[in-house]
Structure 1
Amino acid sequence: MRIHILATVFLVLFLIGCKGEKKYHDEQKDVQVEVVTDKIADILKFQHQLNEDFKDPDKSPLPDRYRKDFEGLDFFAPDTNYIVRARLVRTPSALPFLMSTTGGEKSKEMVYGVLKFTLNGKNFELQVYQNEELMLEDGYEDYLFLPFSDLTNGNETYEGGRYLDLRIPEGEEITIDFNRAYNPYCVYNKKYSCPIVPPVNNLKTKILAGVKKFDK
């Protein structure tokens, strides 16, 4: 599967590159096909970069004994049905709270807002969080943390749920791409302490996108 994904990466990027600068100016009949192709290419690029980070000893959460034989993470096939537009309802009056972690300590978070979206014909809501300390660091001023769990947990995916990284939008809408869902680092290495997904962010559906569970 990993070989197939990498081969698809190069093929998709090659085809996009062949279109040159005209890809956003073609006739209307071609626009939809190219937009979808670009989305798939972005997902494959994300998967490739995540695998490269896991191979890098300076970035990887993997212990040396796993990293030396690491070939790649197991992903669901890219699926644009799991890219959704959500309405962001901000919660400026929310008070900080302590989010539990796998290591026993607490992470101080604030509910930045509630994301409301439709997936597979059903309506869902997820809380999205902002860390009080992290938001003071350069490059993380607009960072939002979206942990979630779903009905794949314990079977296809890690039992504790997965994470998504988002950025504060200028408007009232935000894109959620579940193809970018990744596992907490504590899945790969016990030295990491990871936030536990709050029960309110449990989705009563299967999210068949993103990183699958890690088999050592």
Structure 2
Amino acid sequence: MRSIFFAALLMACFFDSKAQTYRDSIILHRQHYKEEFVTEERSPLKGNDTAYLRFFAPDERFKVNAELTLTPDAKEFDMPTHSGKKKLYRQYGLLTFRLKNKTCSLQVFQSQALLKDPKYKDHLFVPFTDLTTYEETYGGGRYIDLSLKDINNGKIAIDFNKAYNPYCAYADGFNCPIPPRENRLPVSIKAGEKLFGKGTEH
């Protein structure tokens, strides 16, 4: 009986440690995210403004393993931005996954401008909106960055805890892509970055 109890205790400690490790990794990711605002030359925020960046609590349930269906015949197209300008993208594939007992899909894109930069040649871009948009998260949608290097046997992990706001959430004058209608998720993604807190204090 004692062996069963200790086995159960060890398993509980293992899973708690695993959850804690994941939570710590997201907290560390967000620290780096804030630091980039301070060091980035074009940043819309100053150092003190990062205190107003808000996030949902880390939740591993919003990390999903998606099936990737490639769309090699997709043509380049102009994606509209909030400034009115357009940016050239190509759909790289379609991501399909289960979340909150629903089958969801997202188009994933490649920036044709970034493809010319060796530093970003593997970059994949996923703009999206969900049922929290305009309420708890930025009305212009949020973004997730992926990499070709993360694809494994036709699958790729999407971690919505790393979803972030475009610069347009903080200031005007930026060319932030608008998520296409097809990337409107029918679920609430209570993960990742929330609405910017500055100017909303009471």
TM-score of the alignment, normalized to the shorter chain, above 0.5: yes
Contact 1:92 1:112 in 2 (8 A): yes
1:46 corresponds in structure 2 to: 29
Residue identity over aligned pairs, in percent, reads: 41
Give the distance between the partners of 2:49 and 2:11, measured in 1 at CA. 47
After TM superposition, the structure 1 = structure 2 runs for residues 19-168 of structure 1, keeping only pairs within 5 Å, are 31-56=14-39, 58=41, 60-62=43-45, 67-68=47-48, 70-168=50-148
Deviates more, 1:191-200 or 1:51-60: 51-60
Q: Does 1:178 align with 2:160?
A: yes
- The whole-number CA distance in structure 2 between the counterparts of 1:68 and 1:126 is 35
CA shift for structure 1 position 186: 1.2
Aligned residue type for 1:184: P
CA–CA distance in structure 2, aligned partners of residues 124 and 43 of structure 1? 23
Deviations 1:72-119 (A, max 9, x none): 411100000000000010111111111001111111111100000001
Amino acid at match of 1:163: Y
Cα separation, 2, equivalents of 1:57 and 1:50: 11
TM superposition score normalised by structure 2: 0.85
What is the alpha-carbon distance in structure 1 between the residues aligned to residue 30 and residue 42 of structure 2?
A: 15
Asked if 1:197 corresponds to 2:155, the answer is no
Q: TM-score, normalised by structure 1?
A: 0.80
The size of the alignment, in residue pairs, is: 187
Q: Does the 8 Å contact 1:110/1:131 carry over to 2?
A: yes
In structure 2, relative to structure 1, the CA distance for the partners of 1:176 and 1:30 (3 Å cut) is same
What CA distance in whole angstroms lies between the structure 2 residues aligned with 1:144 and 1:210? 18
- Does structure 2 conserve the Cα–Cα contact (< 8 Å) formed by 1:146 and 1:163? yes
Report if aligned partners of 1:143, 1:165 keep a CA contact under 8 Å in 2. Answer: yes
What CA deviation, in whole Å up to 9, does each residue of 1:146-196 have, x standing for no partner? 000001011111111100000012430100000001011011121211000
Q: Aligned Cα RMSD in Å? A: 1.9
User: Does the aligned pair in 2 maintain the 1:51–1:72 contact within 8 Å?
Assistant: no
Q: 1:78 to 1:59 in 2, by over 3 A?
A: farther
AA of the residue aligned to 2:85: E
Between the aligned partners of 1:186 and 1:69, the Cα distance in structure 2 is 15
Gaps of 5+ in 1: 1-26
**CA offset digits 1:55-84 (Å, max 9, x no partner):** 33636322xxx5445424111000000000
Greater relative contact order, per chain length (Cα 8 Å cut-off, separation 6+): 2
Q: C-alpha displacement at 1:54, in angstroms?
A: 2.4
